[in-house]
Amino acid sequence: MAGRRALKAVLIDLSGTLHIEDTAVPGAQDALNRLRQASVDVKFVTNTTKESKRSLVERLQRLDFHVQEKEIFTSLSAARSLVERKQLRPLLLLEDSALEDFTGV
């Protein structure tokens, strides 16, 4: 039997995996803590377009998740990266909270 490879990193979806609206998914905090204690690199992904990273972090911290903004990758951050890379000047039709992630663009 081949040896097991050590888990180095995980991508975790936010909505429905860590939380549902303003409620933590049962066992999610414990699972996240165990991954961090095992030195697994943890990043979070979401396709939400209604909330800024700051807003997401605040929600997760209220639910007792220890998450930093730099660990979250959103569809908004992917869009901002594209806009900056291509030096575009888009008309942004987004929720006010989401516009925060485009400050300075």
What does the pLDDT look like over 12-57, one tens digit per residue? 999 999 999 999 999 999 999 999 999 999 999 999 999 999 999 9
Contact present, 44 and 67 (Cβ < 8 Å): yes
Bridge partners, residue 72, by sequence: 44
Other Cβ atoms less than 10 A from the Cβ of 15: the count is: 13
Asked if the structure places residue 39 within a domain, the reply is: yes
Average pLDDT, the chain: 94
Q: What is the pLDDT, as a whole number, of residue 75?
A: 95
State how many domains the chain has.
1
In a domain, 44, yes or no: yes
94 is in which domain, residue-wise?
Answer: 9-102
Q: Is residue 36 part of a domain?
A: yes
DSSP code, position 49:
S
- Asked if residue 4 belongs to a domain, the reply is no
Q: Is residue 34 part of a domain?
A: yes
The answer to whether residue 2 is domain-embedded is no
Dihedral (Cα; 65, 68, 70, 72), 10-degree rounding: 20
Task: Record the tokens describing residue 101, joined without a space.
Answer: 């992630």
In a domain, 42, yes or no: yes
CATH of the domain at 93: 3.40.50.1000
Q: Which pLDDT score is estimated for 3?
A: 66
Task: Provide the pLDDT for residue 25.
Answer: 97
Residue 3 inside a domain? The answer is no
Q: Average pLDDT in the 57-65 region?
A: 96
Considering only residues 90 and 3, tell me which one the structure prediction assigns the higher pLDDT: 90
